[in-house]
Amino acid sequence: MIVPCIDLMDGKVVQLVQGREKALEVESADEMIDRFSGFPEIQVIDLDAALGRGSNDDLVRHVASRAVTRVGGGVRSVERARTLLEQGARKVIVGTSAFTTTGINEPFLGALRDAVGTDKIILSLDSKGGRIVIKGWQEATNFTAEQVLRSLEPYCSGFLCTYVDKEGMMQGTDLDWFRRLRAATGLEITAAGGITTLDDVRALLAMNVRAALGMAIYTGRLSLAELRAEIR
């Protein structure tokens, strides 16, 4: 599966480099929803909620009313997850709250699983410099994605794995890392971060890894028509 991405900030669709520098901005979410028609699912990340400075709930609700969505950003409580699902998200993406600096936040993940079910949960494993990073990629843990994948399986239906080192940089991604992750779990994996070319996408799909695409689509580096042809 190919999953186009919509990142929200200040009521607009944006794309950031390395999660910090805004590279581009689109006024209308509807424009992107229309452009992404034909793809089975859209990934929506509320960056304001992730950064703890408000939310774009009305816009999230609107996007979810028009497309099948997986939604993340600021899911720090069971109540927040429930809210996103009530707003129309098919699944919620949980990142920082899934971890402490030393390991897995099992009490939270257990409560979340019991409240909404594993089929509604995607866990986000963001990796920079080989280590999982949390809190908007600002804080590094002391463990790798490969080390925790198996232990996280009871809490989710799949994983969103972002190669932060190349996020938004249009320089390609680390296919070997995704191969290692694919070998480490039988659950769904979605790859993100630096996916730039059709060859990148095809390589990921060939290893049964989904591709979440942002900057390469927004800049026109990847053609939506060609991407649609890959999923037919």
Please give the positions annotated as active site: 7, 126
DSSP state of 56: -
Q: Residues near 17 by Cβ (< 8 Å), separated by ≥ 6?
A: 23, 167, 168, 169, 215
Residue 18 CA to its chain's centroid (Å): 14
Tell me the H-state helices in the chain. Answer: 29-35, 47-50, 57-66, 78-86, 106-116, 145-152, 175-184, 198-206, 215-218, 224-231
Report DSSP letters for 168-179, one per residue.
TS-S---HHHHH
